[in-house]
Amino acid sequence: MTIAIQTYMLLDDQECDARIAAARQKLGDKLVILCHHYQRDEVFRHADFTGDSLKLSRAAAESKAEYIIFCGVHFMAEVADILSRPDQVSILPDLSAGCSMADMADLRNVEKAWRELAEVLDPDETVSPVTYINSAADLKGFCGEHGGIVCTSTNARHVLEWCYGQREKVLFFPDQHLGRNTAYSMGIPLEEMVIWDYDKPMGGLTPEQIRNAKIILWKGFCSVHQMFKPEQIDQFKEKYPETQVISHPESPFEVCQKSDYVGSTEFIINTIASSEPGSRWLVGTELNLVNRLHEQFQHEGKNVHFMSPTVCMCSTMFRIDPQHLLWVLENLLEGNVVNQVSVPEDVAQQAKIALARMLDVSP
């Protein structure tokens, strides 16, 4: 019989830690735990593999474990299910751990956009659809079906270069900022970028705007990175002018333009790790990661600061806690699989095509 989650919610983290360790020892190599960098420390410490979306996608694809427990958000567990073997099980400890950005683009609206684009041009001949990995499996499937691809913040430039080798335009969803920042860094001017507002007919664009656009950006964003503002950089550097600024490309364009470095979570970690002792950093990305970097490098005299004066963390990922992780593990010990994430086979087949293209073009 399945053990109910309610019996775990009053346990303190210390007891959970001990029982998680015991359960993992019993399950052995039947289990692998993957944790995204934005995960809270109480869960992050139990990971077998940590990383950004690209690194964890590869870990999921290469895993030999029977059970893949993804301590991240829903779309990550979907990717693990798509890339893993049929006999493997992908599990998300709390199914309510979603992504507000991913929710800003759904299949109905993307298919509607594709139909409306077809009133102006032939999208299957001229437009490569690109979905950020922070999206639902059916959108990855849409891209696979229409000659498109998936990207992460790590490989977005390589993906766009591949796209422009195939077709003349890109429809990029759901995050406008990653698309804009990446395209601009490739020399595409802002005048050749337009925003597709999915709440308006034809995305709020004229046929001429669509024809002239090099990249069509979906009106979506990350609620965490949207909090960062260029004036936060200015105010901090007034006090500490020696500060180096590093931001994630999900941040607004003006923030990235004021940053010394822009890159993925892995890039941010590696850049700060290789910096000179005593250096000072203002970081525009999720709070749990920034706090972890602060703790990790303070012994080297490095000062790592969070960019926003307002606390902003990935609140949906924060729903994964030690209590839910323990609940999943002890149910596995009893022979019960809870919170399995399973992508329908027809969707998974097309999504796998788009993900395979991504992995092929990634360095």
Domains within the chain, CATH numbers bracketed? 5-98+316-344 (3.40.50.10800), 102-222 (3.40.50.10800), 225-306 (3.40.50.10800)
Structure tokens at 352: 């796998």
- The answer, yes or no, to whether residue 276 has pLDDT greater than 90, is yes
Q: What is the pTM of this model?
A: 0.91
Which residue type is seen at 362? S
Cα–Cα distance between 354 and 349 in angstroms, integer?
A: 9
How buried is 206 (Cβ within 10 angstroms: 0-12 exposed, 13-18 middle, 19+ buried)?
exposed
**Are 175 and 221 within 8 A, CB to CB?**
yes
pLDDT digits (tens, 9 = 90+) for 130-141: 999 999 999 999
Residue 91 has pLDDT above 70, yes or no: yes
Report whether 143 contacts 166 (CB < 8 A): no
Read off the pLDDT of each residue in 39-67 and give the average, rounded to a whole number: 87
- Structure token pair of residue 233: 């950089």
Would you say residue 150 has pLDDT above 90? yes
Pairing mode, strands 149-151 and 215-218: unpaired
Report pLDDT for 46: 95
Higher-confidence residue of 111 and 51: namely 111
What is the structure's pLDDT at 314? Answer: 61
Model confidence pLDDT, tens digit, residues 349-358:
999 999 999 9
- Vertex 275 angle, CA 271 and 277, to 5°: 150
For the chain, give the mean pLDDT: 94
Give residue for tokens 């950004």: 52
Q: Give CA–CA dist 163/179, Å, rounded.
A: 13
Q: For residue range 302-326, list pLDDT tens digits in order.
A: 999 999 887 665 666 668 999 999 9
pLDDT at 312: 60
3-state secondary structure of 78: helix
Residue-level pLDDT at 101: 81
Mean pLDDT of 151-170: 97
Band of pLDDT at residue 246, cut at 50, 70 and 90: very high
> Which has the closest alpha carbon to 217: 240, 242, 250?
250
Interval 207-218 mean pLDDT: 98
Q: What is the mean pLDDT of residues 55-70?
A: 88
